[in-house]
Amino acid sequence: MLSGFFNYDNPVWRFIGKFGDLIILNVLWFVCSIPIFTIGASTTAVYYVTLKLARNDDGYTIRSFFKSFKENFKQATIIWLIMLAVGLILGFDMLFFTRGGFNMSQQFKTVMVTIFLAMSIIYLAIITYIFPLQSRFYNTIKRTFFNAFFMSIRHLFQTIAIIVIDVAVVVAMVMIPQIMMFGVLFGFPLLAFINSYILSPILQKYMPKEEREDGDMRPIFADEEEALKAGGTVKEDEVKKEEPTEQ
């Protein structure tokens, strides 16, 4: 009985081992995000690993991280810079209208704050999906943005759950000193790991029946021409000609 408990294949030890992977991922994510403009690539790489952990597809954490980091660097960086620019604009506008700004009527300020608040919610919904999608699917940047928005609406309850959980975890880490150490130890990969348990079943619905030879199951949402423009190399039988549909 004890020999079975201490066996590494025991579900308990496998789950504990995943937290060790998260510590490694936290170090990798932090170091690779220092230049700031690389945050998109490092975040994509984290999701590449945590999505595999969520479906119990264990592998070499460091090797998998850098594999995804290198493979997605260009496109993930462009996506990140776009999201960063949009986020800064939304943040500035929200601050401008909530602080008053010039001589505006209260009614006008309320309308503008409501508009930018709605846009901020859409922004959060898109950023929730866009890097996990980038980590697992070949697409153009435009198509990736569209698919992130499409999925966030189609799976609205899961989107809300992810946002609420992320906010709750971050607030708990900031407000409760005992939990803050978990934030230092696991950092962003902990959020990605939690999100991956919700995102993995969603992404699985859009997977084609065929798997890539390397087992990554990284299919195409659009057509082969778009995939090649995005920098992906695909086999002819991996191309998915239509938009994603429930299976």
Q: What is the pLDDT of residues 160-180, one digit of tens each?
A: 999 999 999 999 988 888 778
Token code pair at residue 51: 């999505």
Angle at 91 between CA 165 and CA 134, to 5 degrees: 55
User: In 3-state terms, what secondary structure has residue 206?
Assistant: coil
Handedness of CA 34, 19, 134, 198 (dihedral sign): negative
Residue type at 78 in one-letter notation? I
Mean of pLDDT over the chain:
81
Kindly list the distances between the CA atom of residue 212 and the CA atoms of 166, 180, 207, 215, 243, in Å, as whole numbers in the listed order: 32, 40, 11, 5, 19
Distance CA 146, CA 75 (A): 15
pLDDT for res 59: 75
Distance CA 90, CA 96 (A): 10
Could you tell me the pTM of the whole model?
0.79
pLDDT for res 11: 62
Alpha helices (H) along the chain: 2-5, 11-33, 39-54, 61-98, 106-136, 141-154, 156-175, 177-204, 224-229
pLDDT for res 235: 27
pLDDT of 104 > 80? The answer is: no
Distance CA 42, CA 77 (A): 9
Q: Which of 43, 52, 26, 125 is nearest to 77 (CA)?
A: 43
Beta-carbon contacts of residue 198 (< 8 Å; ≥ 6 apart): 158, 161, 162
**Number of residues written out for the chain:** 247
pLDDT for res 209: 60
Distance CA 47, CA 203 (A): 12
pLDDT of 200 > 60? The answer is: yes
Half-sphere exposure for 162 (CA within 13 Å, toward CB): 27
